[in-house]
Amino acid sequence: MPQLHEIEIGNWFLYIPNGNYCTLKSKGDILELQGILDVYKCHVDQLASIKVTTHILSLCEFKKQTAYYSKSVKGIELSLSIKSDGAILLWHEESKKYNIRFVHQLQNVYYEVTGDKIQPNLYGVKE
C-alpha cells in the first residue's frame, strides 16, 4: 500500500476493489481516482502500487539499451536498470541515484528531475 505522503496528483495506482489502474485526481481525507470510465472515491488503503515493468517503461518511452533503459528529456539523460530482485536503479548524473519499484515513484522522481510529468496510458490495463 502506498503511503499518503508519497502520492501526488496524476500518479497511477491499482484500485483494489475492481482491479483497474487509475490516476489520482484529488487527495485529502478521501481520494478521487479516475478510471477509464468511472471516478472512484476511496481511502489510501484501497490502493495498491503498480510495479514498474519493461512494458510500462516502453509506455513511458524509455528505450532499451544493451544493459539498461534510457530516455532524454530537456537535455537530461535518464537511465535505469532493473536488478534481479525487481528493484530499479534510476540515475541522471553519476551522483544522483534513486531506488524505485513502483510507477508512482518513477513518476515522482521523473518530475523532480525534469520538471515534467510522465503520464503512461495505463487505462484498460489490469493485473
3 with 111: CB under 8 angstroms? Answer: no
- Same domain? For 77 and 100 the reply is yes
pLDDT given at position 124:
59
In a domain, 125, yes or no: no
In a domain, 127, yes or no: no
Last residue of one domain, picked from the residues 48, 63, 81: 48
Q: What is the mean pLDDT of the chain?
A: 89
86 with 53: CB under 8 angstroms? Answer: no
Does the pLDDT value for residue 86 go beyond 70?
A: yes
In a domain, 124, yes or no: no
CA distance 25 to 21: 13
Instruction: State which residues form the domain around 91.
Output: 54-114
- Same domain? For 103 and 65 the reply is yes
Domains identified in the chain, total number: 2
Q: In the chain, pLDDT over 90 holds for what percent of residues?
A: 58
- Same domain? For 70 and 97 the reply is yes
The pTM for the full model equals 0.90
Query: For 10-54, how does the pLDDT look when each residue is reduced to its tens digit (9 = 90+)?
Result: 999 999 998 989 999 999 889 999 988 899 999 999 999 999 988
- Same domain? For 58 and 107 the reply is yes
- Same domain? For 64 and 81 the reply is yes
CA distance 80 to 62: 9
Closest CA to 4 of 44, 51, 34: 44
- Same domain? For 95 and 44 the reply is no
- Same domain? For 58 and 110 the reply is yes
At 94, the pLDDT band (50, 70, 90 cuts) reads confident
Does the pLDDT value for residue 125 go beyond 80?
A: no
